[in-house]
Amino acid sequence: MIDRSELEKFLIKFRQEMHRFPELSNQEFNTTEKIRNVLEKNGIDCLDTGLKTGLCANIKGDHPGKTIALRADIDALPILEQSGVSYASEYPGVMHACGHDLHTSVLLGAAILLQEQKSNLHGEVKILFQAAEETGVGAKAVLESGSLNEVEAIFGFHNDPSLPVGTLGTKSGALTAAVDRFEIQIKARGAHAAKPHEGRDPMLVIAQIIQAFQPLVSREITPDSHAVVSITQVHSGSTWNVIPEQAMLEGTVRTFSRENRTYIEARIRTILDSLARLHEVEIELLWYGNCPSVFNDERLTTLSLTCAKEVMTETKIVKETAIGEDFAYYQEQIPGSFVMIGSGGPYELHDPRFRVDDAMISQAVDYFVLLAKTYLAPTS
């Protein structure tokens, strides 16, 4: 019988060690081996996925049944840590500023307990430690590997610093946003700043692009759509007395429905084509479609909340959030439910001061163990 107190101490130690040595997306080689070592020491089989980083473990119950997956992400971010914790990153400019070290430790704990209880387990649980979530390509690589071909339902979570420790929040339907990135290249005609009529000023085009994009959200889609269009970079010119030849803008679109995602991209293209003709310049749009919206299955989300009420301090229905999460790719092929579990704050995700409260680990482990056992329990 596993000593729960000792397990909790181990998981906290593992998380803090993982925090000290973070690895960026698709570079999680040491992280993968550390996870593998823990799994194998506990008699848990690791599958051959063919992926260079990340891994998938399999816990096969002693009784036949369905197959589910539990997923955690393992990569870090290119951020210089300013958290002040004693176990801060030893790799300058790389940090677990999104809590993937916490996610990994929680599912390691769940895997260890499920393995211990496999004599009473019906079916199989795949524990997925996914690489490259931050770049939006990790989930697609897992799906392409075929590792989840037999999975009937998939469950995942993200820590939420805005929720107190012990609180689990989720909702059916859209929970996170679809994420798209755009880059706009403007090719105009330079001139002396004293003779603007001899050129085609890209600065004027920039100004009109920024103005034209704002009504996309405020006037063209319904107020309850919660879409976001943000221009985050503008670059042009090199000196004070020359009208430049070129300009670049970059930004992001966040949407919660396929209809709005398609509509906004189409409208951006129309706006840019019109402005190019109006100002007699060339405008090129580079559109980088990223992950879709996490869209929770209603039945599985009801199950998630039911299980959470037994082991968490509080459960709540939360509002959708405009962050991106590549768990959404799994849900395009497999029914799934994704939840947010409070990590205590005070700093938001991707903040260089971000830190989590390790007290949340134990309840989160219990939640996933109960969730897996409940879903797999045979029906009469």
Cα-Cα-Cα-Cα dihedral sign, residues 117, 119, 123, 127: positive
Please give the Cα distance from 204 to 215 (Å, whole number).
18
Q: Which residues of 25-56 are buried (b: 16+ CB within 10 A; e: fewer)?
A: bbbbeebbebbeebbeebebebeebebebbbb
Q: Annotated binding site for Mn(2+), which residues?
A: 98, 100, 134, 158, 350
Q: Annotated binding site, which residues?
A: 98, 100, 134, 158, 350
Map tokens 């550390």 to a residue.
34
